[in-house]
Amino acid sequence: MNNSVTPATNDARKGDVVAPTKEKGWFYTDTVKDHFFHPKNFLEDEAGYGDAYLGMVGSPACGDAMKVWLKIEKEADGTERIKDFKWKTFGCASAIASTSMLSVMVTENGGMPIEAALALRPQDIMERLGGLPARKVHCSVLGDKALRSAVMDYYRKSGQIDKVEVEAGRLIDKVLKITDHDIEEAVLEGADTLEKVQARTKVGTGDPSCIPEVENLIRFYKEKYFGA
């Protein structure tokens, strides 16, 4: 089987791939399967990584977790490069393949500068993998979120406190106490319209004045994670 994929044409979003046979079901590219069966940079033994910068996140969508260890070096010109990226997860095939690919992307060619790694988009990983089923996108962002968490650990430990971003949710529906993170997770789980997000979160039913902002957030997260 080769890596050629056919963009889905029905209700699938960008990033979806379908089997060339057009049979119903998921299709994983050979690249995804290769990274799943032969994951790169998976951490077998934590010995030697006690001083690495650590990031850990969980997925509200499925309860799975991801842990990332980074080694970062500062060059003479001040560039901070990621020289090593190791990871472990309880996640599924999509999380394993995406994080394996991410680990290759940030360490190849001598290591990516931190700023470039933080600017990577989920679609960049998708492109290298040849696509993932849209409903698995929430798995593919786990590695990226753990990477960010590990970079924040580096900023804290290297005294660059002004660069530390704290993942605090912004209250959107003040009556039901629903945050932008709740909207983000709903979109990652496949809710791509206001109605679908409301079916999952009830956002706006307590405070209808927030609905325009909810619609903006849905557009923002769809663009961020699905490029559409």
Q: Name the residues annotated as catalytic.
A: 62, 139
Q: Which residue has the tokens 């650590």?
A: 54
Which residue ranges make up the site for ligand FES (CB under 6 A)? 59, 62, 64, 91-92, 94-95, 139, 142
**Residue 41 or 94: which CB sits closer to ligand FES?**
94
Amino acid at 25: G
On whether the CB atoms of residues 149 and 55 are closer than 8 A, the answer is: yes
Nearest distance from C-beta of residue 149 to ligand FES, angstroms: 16
Give me the residue label for tokens 């079901």.
Answer: 25
Between residues 66 and 112, which has the closer beta carbon with respect to ligand FES? 66
Q: Give min distance, CB of 170 to ligand FES, in A.
A: 25
SS3 14: coil
Choice between 125 and 203, CB closer to ligand FES: 125
User: What is the C-alpha to C-alpha distance for residues 219 and 212, in angstroms, rounded to an integer?
Assistant: 11
Q: Is 139 helix (H, G, I), strand (E, B) or coil?
A: helix
Cβ nearer to ligand FES, comparing 89 with 107? 89
Task: List the structure tokens of 165.
Answer: 């971003």
Residue type, 138: H
Helix pair angle (211-226, 180-188), 10° resolution: 50
Q: Compute the least distance from the CB of residue 169 to ligand FES, in Å.
A: 21
Amino acid of residue 82: I
> Minimal CB distance to ligand FES: which residue?
139
